[in-house]
């Protein structure tokens, strides 16, 4: 079999992930970069989950959502990075059609779930800052669990239609996918059958998921900003902002890369740009999240110090923020 020359009008046979072509030295450097980033992602997010489970002070709705986000980041990265590492190591990006469908499904399902989780976290911060006296009665453990479960179910349900439509496509020419994982866009351009149903389904889902979650997040933060600005003391404003600054940073990074991925001139001319920007979402952002929440969150830093030095020294919080967190 010669890669990229199969003339079989079916989905049988292998595809090839192009990855990042270049000299052997570049491949070794990228392999080490991806490996280190992957190890840091898994270790950092496992540390967040362990900290929350080990300290009852952190077992609140906000950190429950953070644990869900950390768990998601581990699997989101795992869905694509190990195959990329194998491609670097063997210089063979061969992947079966079924394997490509499975990888695409999990990567995009987990990606959609992250949008919903970030929106749920924004709603949680809205309740904590704008309605602190009602926070405990509204954001109950039951509601937190339902919001998290709903995020996972909606995320994994959203990609079923594009995945089913892709299985009906025919591939009769090149089977080289210009990406380091089975992304929908660079994959379906290889099809010799009508790919418009997949493109329309993908666009519709992206429109609903991204804009829907973005709307919830923006409205929540609009109310949060108005509430924080209305706090009379600078100390109170700083304390209120600190409860949502980490989440806001993650939201800006995640949606910033999303804008670059979806604002483009044409599919074919932007494949290399898409591949480069996707690295931000799949490799950089997951490893940054634990550090963002650790460095910018006083409670997590205190829990980390307690974990490392064997003593717990809770910070001085106002009664209102204790209720909110």
Q: Which residues of the chain have pLDDT under 50?
A: 1-10, 265-269, 311-325
CB burial of residue 185 (10 Å; 0-12, 13-18, 19+): buried
Core vs surface per residue 86-122: b (16+ CB within 10 A) or e: bbbeeeebbbebeebbebbbbbbbbbbbbbbbbbbbb
Confidence at residue 301, expressed as pLDDT on a 0 to 100 scale: 66
Q: Quick check: 173 and 192 in contact, CB under 8 A?
A: yes
DSSP class of 281: I
Alpha-carbon radius of gyration of the chain: 22
Cα first-last separation, the chain: 59
Of residues 213, 217, 206, the one with CA closest to residue 159: 206
Taking the C-alpha atoms of residue 323 and residue 133, their distance in angstroms, rounded to an integer, is 8
Q: Which domains does the chain have, with CATH numbers?
A: 14-324 (1.20.1070.10)
Confidence at residue 295, expressed as pLDDT on a 0 to 100 scale: 63
Q: Quick check: 29 and 191 in contact, CB under 8 A?
A: no
Confidence at residue 135, expressed as pLDDT on a 0 to 100 scale: 93
Q: How many Cα neighbours within 13 Å face the side chain of 119?
A: 22
Confidence at residue 53, expressed as pLDDT on a 0 to 100 scale: 86
Q: How many Cα neighbours within 13 Å face the side chain of 218?
A: 7
Across-strand partners of 95? Answer: 15
Taking the C-alpha atoms of residue 299 and residue 206, their distance in angstroms, rounded to an integer, is 35
């Amino acid at each position: 079999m010669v890669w990229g020359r199969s003339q079989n009008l079916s989905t049988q046979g292998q595809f090839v992930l192009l990855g990042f072509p270049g000299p052997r030295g570049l491949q070794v450097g990228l392999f080490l970069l991806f490996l280190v980033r992957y190890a840091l992602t898994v270790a950092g997010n496992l540390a967040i989950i362990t900290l929350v489970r080990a300290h009852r002070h952190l077992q609140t709705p906000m950190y429950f959502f953070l644990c869900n986000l950390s768990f998601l980041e581990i699997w989101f990265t795992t869905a694509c990075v190990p195959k990329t590492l194998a491609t670097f190591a063997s210089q063979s990006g061969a992947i079966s059609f079924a394997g490509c469908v499975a990888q695409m499904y999990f990567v995009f399902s987990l990606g959609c779930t992250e949008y919903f989780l970030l929106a749920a976290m924004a709603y949680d911060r809205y309740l904590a800052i704008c309605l602190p006296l009602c926070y405990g009665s509204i954001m109950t453990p039951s509601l937190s669990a339902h919001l998290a479960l709903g995020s996972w179910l909606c995320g994994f349900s959203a990609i079923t239609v594009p995945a089913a439509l892709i299985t009906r496509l025919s591939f009769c020419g090149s089977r080289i996918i210009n990406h380091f994982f089975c992304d929908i866009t660079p994959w379906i351009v290889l099809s010799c059958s009508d790919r418009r149903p997949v493109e329309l389904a993908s666009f519709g889902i992206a429109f609903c998921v991204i804009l829907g979650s973005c709307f919830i997040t923006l409205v929540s933060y609009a109310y949060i900003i108005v509430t924080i600005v209305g706090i009379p003391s600078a100390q109170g404003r700083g304390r209120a902002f600190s409860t949502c600054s980490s989440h806001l940073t993650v939201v800006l990074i995640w949606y910033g890369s999303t804008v670059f991925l979806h604002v483009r001139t044409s599919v074919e001319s932007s494949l290399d740009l898409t591949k480069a920007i996707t690295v931000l979402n799949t490799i950089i952002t997951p490893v940054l999240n634990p550090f963002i929440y650790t460095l910018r969150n006083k409670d997590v830093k205190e829990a980390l110090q307690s974990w490392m030095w064997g003593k717990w020294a809770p910070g001085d919080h106002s009664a209102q923020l204790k209720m909110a967190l």
